[in-house]
Amino acid sequence: MKVIVVIMLSSMFIFSFPSINPSAEELPSNKVAIVIDDFGNNMKGTEEILHLPVPLTVAVMPFLSTTKEDAELAHQLGHEVILHLPMEPLKGKRSWLGPGAITSNLSDEEIYKRVNDAIDSVPYAVGINNHMGSKITADKRIMKIILGICKERNLYYLDSKTTKKSVVSELATELGVPFLENELFFDEVYTTTHIVKQTNQLIKKTEVDDSIIAIGHVGIVGEKTASVLKQYIPKLQEKAEIVTLSNILVDKEILMH
């Protein structure tokens, strides 16, 4: 049985990237969506990532110094933009979340306001994924509010899968919200060796999965991730077409009907 993991349709984009892409006749049938998290604060690797010659899904944090700038530049360069919504983790410092975070002590009304304000702060956002969030994505009360907003605003949700106890799949299915799930992190260990290992693992996954989602980051490891991806994009494109999350969601929606 073939496995399809990932994403939704909010809009269609036409990309005109350099000749690194194979010709239309040679495009593989498998698809890979590369999501890069943590834009919005002039993080290391921002320019390098945004100028990679493939369509990416760019996850931008709200209310930071370059939130608007990064989202607008990503859109201008043909990438897809989503909101990288800060959510309380089970472990970690509150300061890592940034402004406007969704925490478990908030009322329903405050969560609703914060999520909508965050969406409004990120131009061109067509979806949401969680920044951290191992505590919140396992909380049915809060995730029902967030996914309800996704439905109201015609957004998809990408579960970054920071906990095995996530309720996203269950609630999104119940509410009829398009959702996707991350399968692989490139750079949770901050070494080039690890990023290369994970990229090779992604290439192997294309042999068994029709579509795959993988997440990397700008920031501490951003320049390393950009460098490895730039080197491995041609190898990856021999196995799969690199697309945005919306593109994968289109296929998912077609298969469901």
Section 159-164 average pLDDT: 95
Task: Say if residue 25's pLDDT is above 70.
Answer: no
How many Å separate Cα 26 from the centre of its chain? 26
User: How sure is the predictor about 3, in pLDDT bands with cuts at 50, 70 and 90?
Assistant: very low
How many structural domains are present in the chain? 1
CB atoms closer than 10 angstroms to residue 184: 17
Task: Say if residue 34's pLDDT is above 90.
Answer: yes
User: How sure is the predictor about 6, in pLDDT bands with cuts at 50, 70 and 90?
Assistant: very low
Section 101-110 average pLDDT: 97
Find the CATH number of the domain harbouring 153. Answer: 3.20.20.370
Identify whether the C-beta of residue 22 lies closer than 8 Å to the C-beta of residue 237.
yes
Which distant-in-sequence residues (6+ apart) come within 8 Å of 109 by Cβ?
none
Length of the chain: 257
Mean pLDDT of the chain: 90
Identify whether the C-beta of residue 237 lies closer than 8 Å to the C-beta of residue 55.
no
Winning range, highest mean pLDDT, from 17-31, 215-229, 239-253 = 215-229
- DSSP, res 152: H
Number of H helices, E strands in the chain: 8, 10
User: How sure is the predictor about 26, in pLDDT bands with cuts at 50, 70 and 90?
Assistant: low
User: How sure is the predictor about 256, in pLDDT bands with cuts at 50, 70 and 90?
Assistant: low
Task: Say if residue 255's pLDDT is above 70.
Answer: no
Mutual orientation of helices 168-175 and 140-152 as an angle, nearest 10°?
A: 40
Section 42-69 average pLDDT: 98
86, containing H or E segment: strand 80-87
- DSSP, res 102: B
Residue with more model confidence, 147 or 24 = 147
Q: What is the pLDDT of residue 96?
A: 78
User: How sure is the predictor about 13, in pLDDT bands with cuts at 50, 70 and 90?
Assistant: very low
Q: Which domain holds residue 242?
A: 3-16+23-256
Percent of the residues in the chain that have a pLDDT greater than 70, as a whole number? 88
Q: Which two tokens stand for residue 130?
A: 């969680």
- Classified as helix, coil or strand, 15 is coil
Q: What is the pLDDT of residue 12?
A: 32
Nearest to 211 by CA among 170, 168, 253: 253
| Rg of the chain (C-alpha set) | 17
* pLDDT digits 0-9 by tens, 77-92: 999 999 999 999 998 7
Q: Give pTM, 2 decimals.
A: 0.88
CB atoms closer than 10 angstroms to residue 3: 11
User: How sure is the predictor about 27, in pLDDT bands with cuts at 50, 70 and 90?
Assistant: low
Name all contacts of 205-208 with Cβ < 8 Å and 24+ positions apart.
206/28, 206/30, 206/32, 206/236, 206/239, 206/240, 207/239, 208/3
Identify whether the C-beta of residue 53 lies closer than 8 Å to the C-beta of residue 229.
no
